[in-house]
């Protein structure tokens, strides 16, 4: 990344701004070498003020000379945009396209972008906004090991990064992409339980959120299986085992697992409707 003269972010929305800020804060790229795009002229000034780098509505100008293009549009808009850039000759210099468009395959992006385009597909999640994200990357047929390393360097300032085969990307979308929404519901429910038992709302929400954060850190830092960590909390005839049995009665475990499965199924369909 240090040798690149320009990085273009197509679609400077929530995730596009998060990626741009991560690149700037980590020193991976200088603000003068970073440009983003938005769809409408009235969005330019607010996006630039929020993002901290130049923003335009001209996608062709943004990608011209860019070594890396971050494609952060909605899935439905991804292929038409890449195809229009290729038809205008804006991709003829052979940039690396890193796409976060869910359900849009590297093969479809390569076909839309022409023979000069190298593609890496990535799936980050919204906790990237607070540098606690989870991102998975996979390469297309023309991408090299160096291309994957470059893509990883884009997301590493925003959290953890893993490299997987593309066949897993819909499952990744269902688990880490949609997973924060599931956890927000769980945090809200835990907070409601605290309020029900007499805690002030703000205290209950803080306690619930920090408990989830701490439990997640225990899994990541210790490397132990979640079931083993659960057993550490579950003493014989105690309050935790009593509550766990109640949660099992409500099929919490299978409901969450099915939620991931359903999100993955829906993610696979996003790529089918892009045209």
**DSSP letters along 142-205, please?**
T--HHHHHHHHHHHGGGEEEEE--GGGHHHHIIIIITHHHHHHHHHHHHHHHHHHTT--HHHHH
148 and 96 in a common domain: yes
Asked whether residue 271 carries a pLDDT value surpassing 80, the answer given is: no
Q: Stretch 237-242: mean pLDDT, rounded?
A: 94
Residue 169 is assigned to a structural domain of this protein = no
76 and 41 in a common domain: yes
Report residue 12: phi and psi, to 5°. -90, 60
209 and 157 in a common domain: no
Residue 241 is assigned to a structural domain of this protein = yes
Residue 173 is assigned to a structural domain of this protein = no
Q: What percent of the chain has pLDDT over 90?
A: 85
CATH of the domain at 241: 1.10.3730.10
186 and 107 in a common domain: no
- How does pLDDT run across 131-159, given as a tens digit for each residue? 899 999 999 999 999 999 999 999 998 99
Neighbours of 212 (CB within 10 A): 15
Note the pLDDT of residue 274: 41
Residue 12 is assigned to a structural domain of this protein = yes
Of 134, 164, 194, the one marking the end of a domain is 164
Dist CA 155 CA 171 (whole Å): 19
Asked whether residue 160 carries a pLDDT value surpassing 90, the answer given is: yes
- How does pLDDT run across 214-234, given as a tens digit for each residue? 999 999 999 999 999 999 999
242 and 215 in a common domain: yes
Q: Hey, CA dihedral for 180, 186, 188, 194, is it positive or negative?
A: negative
Per-residue pLDDT band for 91 (boundaries 50, 70, 90) equals: very high
- Retrieve residue 143's tokens: 């991408």
- pTM for this entry: 0.90
230 and 158 in a common domain: no
Of 164, 199, 214, the one marking the end of a domain is 164
Note the pLDDT of residue 272: 62
155 and 225 in a common domain: no
Asked whether residue 2 carries a pLDDT value surpassing 60, the answer given is: no
Asked whether residue 273 carries a pLDDT value surpassing 70, the answer given is: no
Distances from the Cα of 157 to the Cα of 6, 214, 218, 219, 275, angstroms: 18, 21, 21, 21, 33
57 near 41, Cβ under 8 Å?
yes
Q: Stretch 82-109: mean pLDDT, rounded?
A: 96
Arithmetic mean of pLDDT over the chain: 93
CATH of the domain at 82: 3.40.50.720
Residue 28 is assigned to a structural domain of this protein = yes
Asked whether residue 75 carries a pLDDT value surpassing 80, the answer given is: yes
3 state DSSP class of 274: coil
Residue 172 is assigned to a structural domain of this protein = no
- How does pLDDT run across 15-58, given as a tens digit for each residue? 899 889 888 888 888 899 999 999 999 999 999 998 889 999 99
56 and 132 in a common domain: yes
Dist CA 123 CA 101 (whole Å): 8
196 and 143 in a common domain: no
Residues 243-266 as b or e (16 or more Cβ within 10 Å = b) = ebeeeeeeeeeeeeeebbeebbee
What residues are paired with 134 via a beta bridge? Answer: 160
Residue 256 is assigned to a structural domain of this protein = yes
Of 120, 137, 164, the one marking the end of a domain is 164
Dist CA 100 CA 90 (whole Å): 20
151 and 20 in a common domain: yes
Determine the structural domain holding residue 39 and report its residue range. 7-164
Query: Among residues 135, 17, 112, 32, which one has the least CA distance to residue 72?
Result: 17
248 and 135 in a common domain: no
190 and 154 in a common domain: no
Q: How many domains does the chain have?
A: 2
Residue 201 is assigned to a structural domain of this protein = yes
């Amino acid at each position: 990344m240090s040798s690149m003269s320009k990085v273009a972010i197509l679609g400077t929305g929530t995730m596009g701004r998060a990626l741009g800020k991560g690149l700037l804060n980590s020193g991976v790229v200088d603000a003068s070498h970073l440009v983003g795009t938005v769809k409408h002229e009235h969005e330019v000034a607010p996006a630039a003020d929020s993002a901290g780098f130049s923003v335009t509505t001209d996608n062709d100008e943004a990608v011209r000379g860019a070594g890396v293009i971050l494609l952060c549009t909605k899935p439905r808009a991804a292929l038409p945009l890449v195809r229009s850039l290729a038809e205008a000759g804006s991709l003829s210099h052979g940039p690396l396209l890193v796409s976060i468009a869910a359900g849009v395959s590297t093969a479809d992006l390569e076909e839309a972008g022409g023979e000069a385009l190298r593609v890496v597909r990535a799936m980050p999640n919204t906790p990237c906004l607070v540098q606690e994200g989870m991102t998975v990357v996979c390469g297309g047929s023309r991408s090299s090991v160096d291309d994957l390393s470059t893509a990883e360097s884009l997301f590493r300032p925003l959290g953890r990064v893993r490299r997987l085969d593309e066949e897993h990307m819909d499952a990744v979308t269902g688990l880490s992409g949609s997973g924060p929404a599931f956890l927000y519901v769980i945090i809200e429910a835990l907070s409601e339980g605290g309020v029900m038992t007499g805690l002030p709302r703000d205290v209950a929400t803080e306690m619930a959120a920090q408990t989830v954060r701490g439990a997640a850190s225990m899994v990541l830092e210790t490397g132990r299986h979640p079931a083993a960590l659960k057993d550490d909390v579950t003493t014989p005839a105690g309050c935790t085992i009593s509550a766990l049995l109640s949660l099992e009665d409500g099929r919490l475990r299978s409901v969450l697992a099915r939620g991931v499965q359903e999100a993955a199924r829906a993610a696979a369909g996003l790529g089918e409707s892009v045209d």
